[in-house]
Amino acid sequence: MSSGWAVRSAVAVTLVFGIMATACMVAQESPQATPPQTTNDALHAMSQLAAVIFTGQVVAIRRMEGENGSTGVVEIQFAIEDAVRGVSGSTYTLREWAGLWPAGDGPFRPGQHYLMLLHAPSAAGLSTPVGGMDGAIPIRGTAQSPATGASEARVATSKKNAGASAPEDNRVADLRWVATRAMQPLPYRMEPGSHAMSESNSVSADSMTAGPPSETPAAAPQDMAYTTVLGILQRWEKAGDAAH
């Protein structure tokens, strides 16, 4: 009887802990005074909430079972490709509450590449991407020299030279979910003798720029060159360092 009570108590404590951890993450994403109007605004707002920003490849996923029936932790290990904020070393391990992985399933798979924007880890070492999986931006394509088979690290070095022989980097960042965080007003026009008519049936996001968030909507593709997105984040990071 006493052992059963201990197990139920452990499960209850774990559930409360998970709820509190989730609530803390939500609290970190308090609504902005002005909602983002463009994709650029949304990415900038997410980067401001992130304590850790990097690009990496998923190399391992480990499920750590809890004790006495409690919910455990899932560890996702990344091999770092480009570090922007809060990362040192060649790997980073994201620790998430296992309750976010129902039935042992999860959104990450070994071999996948992501641009990660993460909240600061809690006292228990747990964290989540900013905006849920919106802060785990998929990266597709490769950065490789067709002639020499250069690694991504060598490609990054070669890019600095910007010569005609620089290896091609065809990686793209999938920004479709970041774009959904932007509130785009539809443009309207008035024609004589008619009601207001929308110029477009769809909401378009802005084209990404390396400067401050733009207020002028323009066409923004769902995929943006990875080097462009990385450059934007690095410029924002430098601007933030200079401000401090």
Token pair of 18 as six digits? 């998970």
| Residue that wins the pLDDT comparison between 218 and 178 | 178
Q: What is the pairing mode between strands 197-198 and 113-118? A: unpaired
Mean pLDDT in residue range 151-163? 50
The answer to which of 50-64, 66-80, 190-204, 206-220 has the lowest mean pLDDT is: 190-204
> What's the predicted TM-score (pTM) here?
0.67
Q: State the residue for tokens 């934007």.
A: 232
| Residue that wins the pLDDT comparison between 51 and 214 | 51
pLDDT for 147 beyond 70: no
Neighbours of 3 (CB within 10 A): 8
| 205 secondary structure, DSSP code | P
Most confident of 23-27, 51-55, 176-180: 51-55
- Crossing angle for the helix pair 39-49 and 226-243, nearest 10 degrees? 50
| 143 secondary structure, DSSP code | B
